[in-house]
Amino acid sequence: MSKVRKAFFTLTALSAALAAGAAAAQAYPSKPIRLITPFPPGGVADIWSRAYAQELTRAWGHAVVVDNRPGAGTTIGADIAAKAPPDGHTIFLTNLGHSISAALYAKLPYDAQKDFAPITLLGDVTSILAASPSLPANTTKELIALAKSKPGQLNFASAGNGTASHLFGEYLKLQARIDLVHVPYKGTAPALADLMAGRVNLIFEPMPSILPHVRAGKLKALGVTTAKRAQASPEIAPIAEAGLPGFDVTTWYGVLAPARTPQAIVSKLHGELVRITRSPEMKERFTSQGAEPVASTPQQFAVAIRNDMQRWSQVIKEARITVN
């Protein structure tokens, strides 16, 4: 076959593929959409999932149904999403745990990068380092001094081994060179209950879930995890100001689709999710909860997932974190 004929057939095939993709995008969605989130009802991811589901339903006239599939550090929901038909009718709203699980578990039933098509990073959520009211420290600087004077005598709670709240605590230990004992719980609720009762000393938690307890006087906020002060609580100093200038961590939330979802459908989903994220109503919701709207491109989101896998792999290695 001549080069001209090969080029002709290649161009014809490409044109056909583009036409098919455009037709698929025009017809999409053609039925209800399942939005999988790997967390139980009531948390930040669930709240965001339901907010976006409502807006997508309103925009497209097809129901977007939230499907909570919690467990195993986001891996149960991720596995279901990865194996779903790649037609855009199953999408996956997850968070930083997606990168952490890929770094933490030696073997997963899916590939956190290859088995997903990133759509957009919706936003970043600031976390608060909160303390029991009984702890004799009111700032991160005072906490570090107290921990150095009592090595191994203070502890921090987490929502479970290998969760973001666990790794943020390990990251603080490494950065500040202090010895804190990790106390894992089966979820955030029991950890916060023991923290407020004074049975544990500290916790890292996303601002939307913990700020109400701080404002009610049930917990003390020692610092925020971002390099800059959060718009929702500018009175709380960044942990970075306590002599830890490199401390800047957040929990991202984003939407992915199964790999091989047609590019035209990914583009349509991206455009709609970005529109919703940039709407005045959604931006107000984000900032009031200590979140920063991002609305990234799929390529930028892919880079963020990869970078966090590398970053937390290093922390996991240095802190010698393992899971059963």
Q: Which two tokens stand for residue 324?
A: 């059963």
Q: Which two tokens stand for residue 302?
A: 């892919």
Would 324 be classed as within a structural domain?
no
Q: What is the pLDDT of residues 33-80, one digit of tens each?
A: 999 999 888 888 898 999 999 999 999 999 999 999 998 889 999 999
Would 43 be classed as within a structural domain?
yes
Last residue of a domain, one of 195, 213, 242: 242
Least confident range from 2-6, 14-18, 28-32, 293-297: namely 14-18
Last residue of a domain, one of 212, 242, 272: 242
Residues 217 and 257 in one domain: no
Residue 46 gets which letter from DSSP?
A: H
* Residue whose entry in the numeric block shows the structure tokens 């990133």: 118
- Please count the residues of the chain: 324
Q: What is the pLDDT of residues 281-297, one digit of tens each?
A: 999 988 887 788 999 99
Which of 43, 40, 36, 39 minimizes the C-alpha distance to 289?
43
pLDDT on residue 35: 98
Would 73 be classed as within a structural domain?
yes
What is the number of domains present in the chain?
2
CA angle 102, 99, 64 (to 5 degrees): 110
Q: What is the pLDDT of residues 252-279, one digit of tens each?
A: 999 999 999 999 999 999 999 999 999 9
Which structural domain, as residue segments, surrounds residue 257? 3-125+251-319
Where residue 309 falls (left for φ over 0; alpha for ψ -120 to 50; beta otherwise) is alpha
**Cα–Cα distance, 218 to 196 (Å, whole number):** 6
Residues 257 and 119 in one domain: yes
Q: Which residues pair with 127 in a beta bridge?
A: 206
Residues 7 and 118 in one domain: yes
CATH number of domain containing 87: 3.40.190.150
Residues 76 and 159 in one domain: no
Residues 285 and 201 in one domain: no
**Cα–Cα distance, 175 to 157 (Å, whole number):** 18
pTM of the predicted protein model = 0.86
Residues 108 and 25 in one domain: yes
Residues 221 and 312 in one domain: no
Residues 120 and 267 in one domain: yes
